[in-house]
Amino acid sequence: MAETLKRICLVIPCYNEEHRLDIDEYRKFSGRMDFLFVNDGSSDGTLKLLEREVSGFASVLSLEKNSGKAEAVRRGMMHMRTLPSYDGIEWAGFWDADLATPLDEVENILKFGDLICPDADAVFGSRIYRLGSEIKRSPVRRLLSRFFCFIFKTLYRIETYDSQCGAKIFRKKTIDDAFSEPFISKWIFDVEIILRLKNSRLVEYPVKKWVDVKGSKVVKFGNIITISRDVFKLWKKYG
Ligand SMILES: Nc1nc2c(ncn2[C@@H]2O[C@H](COP(=O)(O)OP(=O)(O)O)[C@@H](O)[C@H]2O)c(=O)[nH]1
Ligand SMILES: [Mg+2]
């Protein structure tokens, strides 16, 4: 355990997460990693919950207006640099608030970075179905993910198996390149990050567990149209 002690700070973007945030789970892991919760202009009791429950063991940044996950993560990554613990950490990342990827995977992803790919600039969680893993995703999400990865490969020559997993970590030196400029895409900013980091060494870590948590706000028909527009915008800018 000691080797992962506060080597990493995770941004947790939170939009209307009052009923999904498992505060006790975060508290349990807070001795081993830092958390920066970003309230993304929630209209429910998320901010009150964060102020009441996490300020004793984690940091909170609150955005007045809802700006979407991409901007919430970006602002969090930028704000992290002002935290007193920032100098001591080696890695920074973002992790979905619903803990679809459990927090014990943080240690595994760090080990993967250290042992298997010590020269990696970023390690991205990837939901690969295989013996010994527990990946529970709806068939619709699986299908969409395969379809969009095919598009990304064709249009941008990105060889990722799973671009959208909400568990990603970055070495500190890559943060500026990945996050200093606002993203032009709303839902596929993960792909935009890959396009921005084309000169860095990026690797995928096959998560052992990923469980679809009820209450997703992303997979909706309207968003699929926005995603398609994003694909075109990215192609125009980075293609
Ligand atoms: N949907 C949505 N999620 C946001 C927004 N801002 C931050 N998030 C966070 O993005 C993460 C992923 O959201 P979720 O609904 O679980 O997406 P999914 O599981 O990928 O379908 C969660 O931590 C959300 O709280 C936003 O404006 N909309
Ligand atoms: Mg989710």
Q: Give pLDDT tens digits for 101-115.
A: 999 999 999 999 999
Please identify which residue in the block is written with the tokens 């980075």.
238
From CA 114, how far away is CA 102, in angstroms rounded? 20
Cα dist from 136 to 20, 150, 195, 224, 230, whole Å? 18, 21, 28, 21, 27
* CA nearest to 27, candidates 47, 42, 49: 49
Confidence (pLDDT) at 1: 41
Residue 118, CA distances (Å) to 2, 175, 203, 211 in order = 19, 17, 10, 28
Query: What separation in Å is there between the alpha carbon of 12 and the centre of ligand 1?
Result: 10
Helix H or strand E encompassing 39: strand 34-40
For atom 15 of ligand 1, the residue with the nearest CA is 216
Quickly count: other Cβ atoms within 10 Å of residue 219's Cβ: 14
Pocket perturbation via mutation, ligand 1, pick of 162, 217, 223, 227 by most ligand atoms within 8 A of CB: 217
- For ligand 1, whether the C-beta of 219 sits within 6 Å is yes
Query: Which residue ranges form the domains of the chain, and what is each CATH number?
Result: 2-238 (3.90.550.10)
State which of 12, 96, 127 you would mutate to test the pocket of ligand 1, scoring each by most atoms of that ligand within 8 A of its C-beta: 96
The single-letter DSSP state of residue 131 is T
CA of 98 to the centre of ligand 2 (A): 6
Q: Quick check: CB of 21 below 6 Å from ligand 1? A: no
Helix or strand or coil: residue 88?
Answer: helix
With a cut of 70, list the residues of the chain below it in pLDDT.
1-5, 217-221
Ligand that comes closest to the CA of residue 97: 1
Residue nearest to atom 14 of ligand 1 (CA): 216
Nearest to 83 by CA among 71, 92, 74: 92
How many Å separate Cα 221 from the centre of its chain? Answer: 22
Q: Given this model, what pLDDT does residue 221 score?
A: 67
Which positions ≥6 away from 167 have C-beta within 8 Å? 93, 94, 95, 96, 101, 105, 109, 124, 125, 207
Read off the amino acid at residue 16.
N
Distance from the CA of 36 to the center of ligand 2, in angstroms? 18
pLDDT for position 223: 79
Residue type, 218: V
Give 27's DSSP letter: H
Q: Tell how far CA 57 is from the center of its chain.
A: 20
Q: Separation of 218 CA from ligand 1 center, angstroms?
A: 7
**What pTM was estimated for this model as a whole?**
0.95
Please name the residue that has the structure tokens 């992790």. Answer: 95
Q: Beta partners for 13?
A: 38
Q: What is the pLDDT of residue 215?
A: 74
- Find the length of the chain: 239
72 Cβ closer than 6 Å to some ligand 1 atom: yes
